[in-house]
Structure 1
Amino acid sequence: MPHILVVEDEPKISQLLTDYLKQSNHTVNQLFDGEHVTDWVQQHTPDLILLDVMLPVKDGLTICREIRQNSSVPIIMITAKVEEIDRLLGLELGADDYICKPFSPREVVARVKTVLRRVSPPEDERHESTDKTVLKLDESRYIATFHNANIELTAIEFNLLNLLASDPGRVFSRQQLIDNIYQDHRVVSERTVDSHIKKLRKKLCAANADEDVVHSVYSVGYKLVL
């Protein structure tokens, strides 16, 4: 059974998450402040961490950075502060996903399963993924192949797709997309990014009309779901 560490200073919320996770066949441990989280993770190596941002003693953002220095364990951040989202999704932080309070416990369990499946898919899916690659990107020639169909992309569209494909399932904010695609630091509006994404989606859907793989996350940004 997957081993989940819940780090949440509100006992009722922590216990609610624990109960739902256990009902879904997860082993769960709880910590209620940030003081010893990093040491605990090194000693017990959980399969995933649910980590609240606002914690006593040491905050979740600091803990996430510390853990990332020597571990790639999946981390889902829990936050009640919408303004923290861009920081949670920052390339330098290393969180795998985030959940905003208030939340549904069922949604949390679903997100946990999704992240665990992404980092360690079932054995039969691993074999399938090695035999069939849905999306192929040739960076040297700026050629994209989706479901065995070649897609003609502009350099901006290719770079957008390449960045999204570097971490499927992760939400990239519009500002992160701008910063990574326009290396010359030109002033680019978020609407420009939306326009490029719209064209990219149209071309991908033309290759496979039944699959929209570029998903928008309201007020945050975009992610690639394969």
Structure 2
Amino acid sequence: MEYCNIAAMVSTLVVATRLTLAKRHSTKVFLVTGFLLMMAYNIWMSLIITPDLSFTDLLFPIIFQGAASGFLFVPIIIFTVSALPVQTGTTGLVVAAYTRFTATLNSISGFYNLQLYFNQHFKEGLLASLTPENFMVADQLKNDQAVFLAKGFSASQAAFMAGNTLQQNIARQTQLLAFRGVFMSIAALLFVVAMLVLMLPAINKTFLHWNRRMMIPSGSL
């Protein structure tokens, strides 16, 4: 699986580098493409997330994620290095590597905090539905108790194990919903970032043009 991800990343990295050196495309194209591919990866993962994902289920999302990383690497490195003062010299690469390392740590901590938030959110929602009026839960407990009784357990043991089974199912479902919430949140954030990259230059030009017109006296227009 990781080889498919690396192959996709290297392929798009080579393509982005060659096109950038040939000056056929601006870095904005690669940024928007990379963010949209990363958004597609997160949406795809949120739709297929299950406890038993196979290789074929993960193949295309992993390729999308690798391709997005390759497209984003070149413009981000160019932007980071070009923003540094000239006197920094080769230390610009060190700063870029440090920035990437810091961003990786922040993304890991952000993912963990989002996971905790959604896990607690969905857990409270599921626990709130466990009421005496919920006949589906009662039927599930009865079915689980019947299964354990048929295996030779006593009534008290069967009731205890049925409750544990219900708790495990809630924990598993909560974790899956938390992952889905994290993936959808990241996808929404990536879409906003892609639109900002796409529209900010035009908005900036419009603002500068409007500001210039406000500063020029009306008689000289």
Do they superpose with TM above 0.5?
Answer: no
Q: What range is the shorter-chain TM-score in? A: under 0.3
TM-score (norm 1): 0.24
TM-score (norm 2): 0.24
Whichever structure has more helix as a proportion of its residues is 2
Whichever structure has more strand as a proportion of its residues is 1
Q: Which has the larger radius of gyration?
A: 2
- The structure, 1 or 2, with the larger RCO (C-alpha pairs under 8 Å, 6+ apart) is 2
